[in-house]
Amino acid sequence: MCKVSFRKEENLRCFFLYQTYIKQSVAMKKIGFLVISLLLPLAMNAQQEEDDFSNFVKQQSADFDKFVDDANKDFINFMRNPWKEFEAEKPVKKRVKPEPVKPVVYDEKTAPKDRKPVCLDIEKILDMTTGEGKQRPVVKVKEVDELTFDQPTVIVKKKKEPVVIVVEEKVTDKKPVKERPGKKPVVVQVEETPVVEKPVEKTPVVKPEIPVVKPEVPVVEPEIPAVKPAAPIVKNVPLFAGGAGRTKFVYGGMTYYLSNALNRKCRLSSLDENAIADAYETLCASDYKPLLNDLHTIKKDILYNDWAVCMLVKQIAQEYCSTYNESIVMRQFILNEMGYKARMARKANENKMVLYVATDCQIYGNIFITQGGQKYYDLDNQQPYAFYMCQKDSPKAKHSVSMYWQETPVLAGEKAVSIHQAAGSTARTMVSIPKALIDFYKTYPHCDYSVYVKARVDAGVESELLSSLAPLVANKSEEEAANILLNFVQTAFQYAMDDEQFGYEKPFFVEELFYYPYSDCEDRSVLYGYLVKKLLKLDVVYLDYPDHIATAVRFNEEVGGDYLMVEGHRYTVCDPTFIGASIGMTMPMFKTVAANVLKY
């Protein structure tokens, strides 16, 4: 009985619980249906608005594409007009420096014992800190005796306890005393040194003692850049993985798979204006945008350099075209679509096309034409010739090709190990130079000197180089550190003129000094300026003589020697090619020669 009653109560309890659950579920469903009925119109409106916005974006994109297409059509129609005949301008001669066959060596035995510091003359100060590189006014500096040597030659040394004024013997010449902050007081001089046999009885007029400011210790740990990977991390992207509709290219040791939509799309029946315009129009009508996207990605994430992109475009055009003339048309098309100013031309006396490219700096040794204040260079020819050219730029060609860059291209392949040891010093470096980078530098035209000075050094080379030299200049005075670096650049590299090594003038980027067996004055100046700026954090200017280039450094400490006054600041001469000479020493033949000061 008890067992039966218990089961009935349990069944009744379950039945009532089930009924309650059903009622609550029905209520929840009613509420849910009510909420859905209220929100559904809002969702439909939101979806409608989203669809309207998407359609608006698509329409705007289509309108823009149509505008671009119309602009290209206008340009193509203009291209069909007779091209104007031009004569290429003679190239600006390369900056050949008729340097001595052998480097100048400082001989302490023959050097004057009473050597006086010289304030060197300045011909011009060229401020290259702006893109225009406008020339600054010529600065006329005073003679050395008119600058600061206008005080009595009474040397006052102040001690703490007791206070004693010490008067040293007279100085009969103007030989400066090279002092270090915190060691001795500053020596001042006048043209005629008065004879001082004893302290003046009257209260001497002594200028308030200038507190000695201890110079900042050079940075021990250089800024080591993060080394970029030799290959893209993302493997499944078609640009790096390949796939249908893509062609394999190898550039700078890197492998790319680029869209082949332009393959054999450029055909020239002749070299008259209509045939060239037809070929350009065919390229405009092709599906070229995937290729442009590939190139923009490579430029942004890997090459970082306009000139490197131009070289890759040249390789692409040669692969996708059957003839050289057709490749010129394709090169202009691709460069224009990427926003670069490039113009093709037809030689007057040859059945041959050529390409002119606008750059953002002076190029030496190549012919050019000036249009609208912009120089366009034929970087494949050095001898002038007559040619025909369309007088209008593509509507998309807005920018010149920049020869500068803030990051070195990511390249792959073998490296060459280079070891350099300074004479009479522990300064020794061992760096690994990417051969692909050297090959890339070989393609570079002879540019303005600022390109080599401002160029970013390869991250791996920079890390090895600076980490080797940083400990040697740590906790040294600026003078000591600058002399260590100067001796390294002077003696760790073999000297030879470019004509001996290459047969032509070739300025070096920093990495090239460690790859090639010889270097000359402008190469060493680039390296020394780079090391001083990176390791000592000091400003550097470059002294451009008629047949020589050296450097001058703006020290925070007092240092002796020859100097220049640039915009009110004293820059001490540091010549990386005057072998054995310390800072402040000028080659004798340049003491009376005015230099152009290059300030970057």
Q: Which two tokens stand for residue 578?
A: 């005057």
What six digits make up the tokens of 303?
């090459």
pLDDT digit of tens for each residue in the chain (600 aa)?
444 444 444 454 555 545 555 555 555 555 555 545 555 555 566 566 556 656 655 555 455 455 457 778 899 999 999 999 999 999 987 765 556 667 788 877 776 666 788 899 999 998 765 433 333 333 333 333 332 323 333 333 344 443 433 334 343 444 443 444 443 433 334 334 444 444 444 444 444 454 444 445 444 454 555 555 454 445 558 999 999 999 999 999 999 999 999 999 999 999 999 999 999 999 999 999 999 999 999 999 999 999 999 999 999 999 999 999 999 999 999 999 999 999 999 999 999 999 999 999 999 999 999 999 999 999 999 999 999 999 999 999 999 999 998 899 999 999 999 999 999 999 999 999 999 999 999 999 999 999 999 999 999 999 999 999 999 999 999 999 999 999 999 999 999 998 889 988 899 999 999 999 999 999 999 999 999 999 999 999 999 998 899 999 999 999 999 999 999 999 999 999 999 999 999 999 999 999 999 999
Whether 95 contacts 451, CB under 8 Å:
no
What is the reported pTM? 0.74
What element of type H or E holds 79?
Answer: helix 2-79
Task: Label each residue of 424-463 as H, E or C.
Answer: CCCCEEEEEEEHHHHHHHHCCCEECHHHHHHCCCCHHHHH
Contact, 540 vs 131, CB < 8 A? Answer: no
99 near 497, Cβ under 8 Å?
yes
User: The tokens 């500068």 sit on which residue?
Assistant: 404
Residue 350's CB: how many other CB atoms inside 10 A?
Answer: 12
Q: Where are the domains positioned within the chain?
A: 1-79, 84-94+231-389
- Read off the tokens for 281: 């129009």
What beta strand segments (E) does 121-215 contain?
122-127, 135-136
Phi-psi label, residue 437: left if phi above 0, alpha if psi -120 to 50, beta otherwise = alpha
| Residue partners of 322: CB distance under 8 A and separation at least 6 | 264, 267
Residue 323: Cβ within 10 Å count: 13
Q: Which two tokens stand for residue 89?
A: 């301008």
Which residue is associated with the tokens 């070299």?
271
Of 478, 483, 477, nearest to 427 by C-alpha is: 483
Contact (CB, 8 A) for 482 and 508 = no
Give the DSSP letter of residue 475. T
Question: Do the Cβ atoms of 598 and 449 come closer than 8 Å?
Answer: yes
| Tokens found for residue 534 | 């990176």
Distance CA 192, CA 190 (A): 6
Indicate the helix (H) or strand (E) that contains 72: helix 2-79
Q: Which amino acid is at 355?
A: L
Exposed/middle/buried for residue 244 (C-beta within 10 Å: 0-12, 13-18, 19+): exposed
* First CA to last CA distance, the chain: 108
The single-letter DSSP state of residue 51 is H
Q: What single DSSP character describes residue 219?
A: P
Place of tokens 């475009």: 313
- What six digits make up the tokens of 78? 């203009």
3-state secondary structure at position 489? helix
DSSP secondary structure letters along 341-391: -EEEEEESSSS-EEEEEEBSS-EESS-EEEETTEEEE-TT--S--EEEE-S
Per the CB < 8 A criterion, the answer to whether 120 and 562 are in contact is yes
Cβ neighbours of residue 382 under 8 Å, at least 6 residues apart?
91, 365, 366, 367
- Round to whole Å and give the CA distance between 411 and 435: 9
**169 DSSP assignment:** P
Question: Are the beta carbons of 331 and 342 closer than 8 angstroms?
Answer: yes
Cα of 362 vs its chain's centroid, Å: 15
